Structure 1
Amino acid sequence: MTWLRKPWVGPLAFVVVAFVAFSLPPYLTGDRLQARVQSDWGPHYPLLVMHVVCASVAILTCVVQIWPWFRSRFPAWHRRIGRVYVFAGVLPAGLSGLVIGWMTPFGPVAQVSSVLLAPLWLTFTWLAWRAARRRQFRDHRKWMIRSFALTVSIITNRIWGVVMFLLLADRVPEAELPNTVAGITTWVGWTIPLLISQWWLERKPARRQAAVEQRESVPV
């Protein structure tokens, strides 16, 4: 079974499904008080619900899209799910995220991060989609990996949030703690995954070239 050769697929899918199962339900009730981010700005709640629902679509479909076995075994479904990822996931989630990021209650540091993240997410995804339409599949794969890194960054954001809270709870005044934690985690949550994805993209060809050189150096 060739899909078993990618052992990261199962754990990644489990983490994503568990995260969505935990994060999404409060936003399906229509109860504003259950939202984990509160704001006095009127349109904030419906935009937040749109963002969470569409981002959940994006993160679930993205896992399927980067699964090599599924991609090669079901290319037609890969294309269909890709359209869902772009037009029902990233596009509405990114646009709504840009607005609610600008209106964030967590201060200017988190605001700048969110306002920068949303256009990057939209741009990387659009470049991936355009490359696929042009059948430039190597470029499509590279841009899709960058898009994936930003899509799943919400999970690392939450992990960093717990870490920062534990580190800063006794060092930062209680009134300043939410903005301080949010300001740090909104930046490291997406910059680190994006840097890792870029490192991986640049490192893999080097590894492949080294393997080729090693094979060529073996006597025949």
Structure 2
Amino acid sequence: MTSSNTPRWWRRPWIVPLMLVAGAFLAFAVPPYLTFDPAESRLEPPPGNDFYYPLLVAHVLFGTVAMVTACFQVWPAFRARYRRGHRITGRIYVFAGALPAGFVGLYIGWHTAAGPSVRVANLVGSVLWIAVTIIGLRMARRRRFADHRRWMSRSFALSMSIVLSRVINIVATIVLTPQIATTFGGSEVLMKYSATSIGAWLGSLLLLVLADFVLERRKTPKKPPSGVVASDQGRTPSRV
């Protein structure tokens, strides 16, 4: 029988849309890389770089593992009901998802063909992803589980930032296209690089801000029910 303290999925209405969005994104983004054909790549490999495409495929596959397992990590009902499953998927997320994807992402980010702004955004995003994931792992091993949840929430935000960055990229492209002849001096390539840069920076930034906003709201103490007064010494509240 399910414990009354176990969160029901319908009390977290965001979990189903989250999984649907992640699934739709992966269904669109991953298949071209499963062919192992560089011609199918959505990113242009740098000329003469034989390592870029194999590492890009590895980055995509590790990132897929991270996104799938991250959805289970932030699902409250799954964490409460299947604690062993939570630990197992957590290890998979860290060691077969976020960390390898982040380290490979450093190479991919450095060799991007989308210009220096995107290069810096990718490098900063990868470093942050690696850092917050390692800190979250250390907090769990020290049994500081509240801190562990906070840092892994930030890691989750960065793992999902690729989805938001693609959406922002599309919006930015639509907004910037009329400015090709003016702002970008007739260069469609420069406009595309700028749109990609906006998506790369804002995707990570907005989700990190949102994650910390949610974390701060959860730290705010709830008001006691009407008719209940807490004692100054922190004892059990008494009714008046």
Instruction: Establish whether TM, by shorter chain, passes 0.5.
Output: yes
Of the candidates 85, 88, 98, which is equivalent to residue 96 of structure 2? 88
Match runs of 1:10-159 below 5 Å: 10-39=16-45, 40=47, 41-159=49-167
CA distance in 2, matches of 1:137, 1:162: 38
- Alignment of 1:204 onto 2:218: yes
Unaligned runs of 5+ in 2: 3-7, 181-186, 231-238
CA distance in 2, matches of 1:12, 1:215: 39
SS at match of 1:42: coil
Moved more, 175-184 or 152-161: 175-184
Q: Deviations over 1:43-71 (max 9, x none)?
A: 11011100011001000000001101010
CA distance in 2, matches of 1:146, 1:168: 30
Distance 1:73 1:105, change over 3 A: same
SS at match of 1:81: helix
CA distance in 2, matches of 1:20, 1:175: 26
Of the candidates 167, 170, 174, which is equivalent to residue 188 of structure 2? 174
Of the candidates 206, 218, 237, which is equivalent to residue 192 of structure 1? 206
> How much has 1:42 moved relative to structure 2?
2.1
CA distance in 2, matches of 1:18, 1:67: 18
CA distance in 2, matches of 1:215, 1:42: 71
SS at match of 1:156: helix
> How much has 1:210 moved relative to structure 2?
4.4
Moved more, 124-133 or 23-32: 124-133
Which structure has more relative contact order (CA 8 Å, sep 6+)? It is 1
SS at match of 2:36: coil
- In our comparison, the structure showing a higher alpha carbon Rg is 2
Unaligned runs of 5+ in 1: none
CA distance in 1, matches of 2:204, 2:91: 23
SS at match of 1:36: coil
CA distance in 2, matches of 1:142, 1:37: 33
Counting matched residue pairs gives 218
SS at match of 2:224: helix
CA distance in 1, matches of 2:146, 2:217: 15
> How much has 1:215 moved relative to structure 2?
6.6
Structure with the higher fraction of residues in helix conformation: 1
One-letter identity of the residue aligned with 1:93:
A
> How much has 1:217 moved relative to structure 2?
6.4
Of the candidates 11, 16, 27, which is equivalent to residue 5 of structure 1? 11
CA distance in 1, matches of 2:177, 2:213: 33
> How much has 1:203 moved relative to structure 2?
2.4
SS at match of 1:111: helix
> How much has 1:204 moved relative to structure 2?
2.2
One-letter identity of the residue aligned with 1:203:
R
> How much has 1:88 moved relative to structure 2?
0.5
CA distance in 2, matches of 1:134, 1:25: 39
CA distance in 2, matches of 1:32, 1:202: 44
Aligned-residue sequence identity (percent) comes to: 41
Q: Deviations over 1:73-129 (max 9, x none)?
A: 000011011111001101110011011101110111011111111011011111111
